[in-house]
Structure 1
Amino acid sequence: MIGVINGQKFGIAVLNTSVQQEARSGVTTLRSSISHIPASVGPLMRVLVVTIAPIYWALARESGDALNGHSLTGGRFQQESHVEFATGELLTMTQLARGLDPDGLLLLDVVVNGIVPESLADADLQVQDFQEQYVQTGPGRLFVGSTQNFRQESLLSFLRCNHSIRYDVARGPQPQLVQHLRASAISSAFDPEAKALRFQLSTALQAAEENEVGCPEGFELDAQGEFCLDRDECSGSPSPCAHSCRNVPGRFSCSCPAGFTLARDERTCRDVDECAWEADPCREGQRCVNLLGSYRCLPNCGPGFRVATDGAGCEDVDECLEQTDECHYNQICENTPGGHRCGCPRGYRVQGPGLPCLDIDECQQLPRSCAYQCHNLQGSYRCLCPPGQTLLRDGKTCTPLERSGPNVTTVSHRDRLVAWLRPRAPIPSGSYRAWVSLRAGPRALSVGRAWCPPGFIRQNGVCTDLDECRVRNLCQHACRNTEGSYQCLCPAGYRLLPSGKNCQDINECEEDSIECGPSQMCFNTRGSYQCVNTPCPATFRQGSSPGTCFRRCSQDCSAGGPSTLQYKLLPLPLGVRAFQDVARLAALSEAGVPANRTELSVLDPDPRSPFALRPLRAGRGAVYTRRALTRAGLYRLTVHAVAPRHQSVFVLLIAVSPYPY
């Protein structure tokens, strides 16, 4: 035996096996010792009972019509073995049995190459009993598949083995298409002083039972009914795997893209939370943010700051601009680095923390604000004058009205805006209006100043139409040349704006009064509309507004779970860049107040969806693009909002337009 394990090369290791068969019980016990194994490799190889697979098959106890490897092949065969651990490590073996030497000993050469999990080196290992199926797949060809479980400390893990065996066709097939080998009472150990790896196990081989007709699962009979052929499960539709499927003889295996791992059903993929690893993947001063299929290391920004758009630093959150402040309706929000202040406008005063601003009664202040009479207003005041007087420009003192002729014009300080409409003044004497007409005369043409109308160009002495559509970006969507001009066109479902260049979506749901069926909502997508299904679960009732469902408390009030279900619609243009927020979600109480103790999460996240949810602050989240929107379609994102006494489910339907507008 020679080979390389985990990059450690070992020279020629000598494998010796003895076979003992008890006459009474008929049990065949094999004891194998592999010497000259380096101490750095030996502990890892304790789990590789597969290294002696050709031996325990060739020398297994036969029962009934079953033939072991020696009886079937005469001790001459080649076996290729592939081993895959549950954690993904791979290992291959080539095992060549060269028959018996003059002394009757079976000669076997083994070449090993691959990776074994390093965690097995110091672990307490116990290999469990296992079974193998030897399937006749053609003349002189066998396929063997097995799953071998082993206990690592207190944890149970496994590895899968596939063997392909070839032998002389003239030896003929097995008595039956399938034979079963059972291995039991398995022990393995490594002696570091002797540098020896030792295995012991009992094996028994038997043909398939009479009720086992045909081929095992994953195989099917060939046209002649002589051999079992592999069934390619991956070629079917739909695929049995959520991402990629790899067909192997007798079965198939699913794999996931980078950043995902197989779920328990070994078919669907789930996100790997790199941020939950014991070793933090980010540098000091950074925080790890898990994404679907990946993660990002972002600056650890303090309260009131957030990660900048470029992801390299922190920027202040303008709570006043984003309306996330806690100021009252009549307070003025002033942004500060890392926070904000709630102040009062002029004419109001602060009552106290958490209280709205209180109006100042200027009419009660000393010295007096008005010369005659004061009228208090919210946030201000107004001075009044006695009859026959009017306010001066200072707005406080009064003066008698000026009289000029029979009419008296009174200007009140209360009038804020006065619009005067005056007739056009007559044209004074001595002035005149003139119209000037400029025409190209014969003399102008004679000197070469030829003139063409707008939209035409002179070529070879003739005015020809100018194709304006050859100019790039003239129209938002499409351009159609006309005689002397051009016309911008819009796709179906859009109308041309007054600018004549840009397109605007037509809201068919409102303008055409679209009526959808029961349990449906009209979803105005960009360029079209859809009647989307918004069904309520069996224990819910339809609300008064479309797309809202309420749980019937009389039926399952004690069952927990969400009490409301709401459908939300969001149309988006094509081409939105990756990691862009497209919607903000906020969980509100029945009074419309943000529920700060609410947690938002995505139910059944789809790794293929371009949308995901990230938390902002308590009770708030942002839906963002995991990758650029390059394909039109309808996407679904189900968000679960959990508060201490209330749960809701929001189904966000996102329609991506085929156009970037």
Structure 2
Amino acid sequence: MQECPYQLLCIPDVDECRTLPDACRGDMGCVNQNGGYLCLPRSLYNQPYRPDTPALPNPVYQDPSAGFPDTFLPAVPGGGGGRGGVEPSYPRVRSTAQCILGYTLAEDGTCNDIDECETNSHHCNPTQVCINTSGGYTCSCTEGYWLIGGQCQDIDECRYGYCQQLCANAPGSYSCSCNPGFILNPDSRTCQDVDECEDEPCSHGCFNTYGSFMCNCDEGFELAADGTTCIDLDECSFSEFLCQHRCVNTPGSFSCICPPGYYVFEDGRSCEDFNECDTGNNTCTTAQVCFNFQGGYTCLDPLQCRPPYVEVSDNQCMCSAENPACRDKAFTILYRHMDLSSGRSVPADIFQMQATTRYPGAFYIFQIKSGNDGREFYMRQTSNVSATLVLSRPIKGPKQVVLDLEMVTVNNVINFRGSSIIRLTIFVSDF
């Protein structure tokens, strides 16, 4: 029977070269031994066996009892490898030393481990790192490298998504960075969003977004080209109809201003006439009559009828038919007043005239007798006894227009022809 080293209980040999994955690394080949296995350069153990082949110095021996394949232990002395009397295909290793392979005899008679890495008696590739183990050594690569074809090659960590965002590979290492708007977490791999609003980059409001931020402005302001500052919005430049009269821009808003004689209505945009006659804010005397018009007022003196007319009421003069001086004159003159906005759109019906007395067999003719020098008006007869004064051209104020609107009564049965006049005074406002 084969003698067991260290007086261990012997069990049937296990072929580690078959049962252990990657028992030997790099250019080392696995050779099973009774109670262990050898890692030998392939160039040696593939050679035909010759009895005169000298023993290899310090062959690497793998002991499965270590629990992991990278731990190297010395081979068991006298361990046989052949089966059925067949000579092995690797050189026999013979040792007459009292210590097993990988150990050396000390002066005190104990066996001390040989540091193959220190004595440079290992067979690691120049790109590999030698790590000494009890009774042997292992060849490994430094962090950031892996073994490919017996060579340690750099691992491209960026290829395998080691970084969440930006990655820069380096020999044996890598570094992560983040896109603008993010900072690197303490793990040096992941990124977290930066809340830019904490630094108050916006002149008004700030809204943080993933990786960035957005600025917003208060009402009446708009965002400038730099995306952070807010500039006043000139609402008055949008439309000339924003205010009825005049628009004044203010920071973040606007205001409407009305001309003298007007006040700003509840909507804040349109202008309403200030009635000086109703409020008493006028200079008319008690003998005068206050007449309000758009944007102002006027004080009307008491009616004075010119002869041969006589006053019959506060606003009417009459010329009697019995008076020979009244033969070619209108029978009555009725005084009326009205106001008109400057530049009013046309055509517009502004005044209606109607016969108050009807005579059998009579018909009526309506016409503008005087005052229409600019031909801004015309009469449109709407029935046998009525007509409407129409504004046909806009009138720019301030202006005062006096029209004599005549109604001619014709009765051919009794051979009668007479007329009545409405003297209409129109106050055209300044605005």
Flag the structure with more relative contact order, 1 or 2, with Cα contacts below 8 A and sequence separation at least 6: 2
Q: TM-score, normalised by structure 1?
A: 0.29
TM-score, length of structure 2 as denominator length:
0.42
Instruction: Answer 1 or 2: which has greater strand percent.
Output: 1
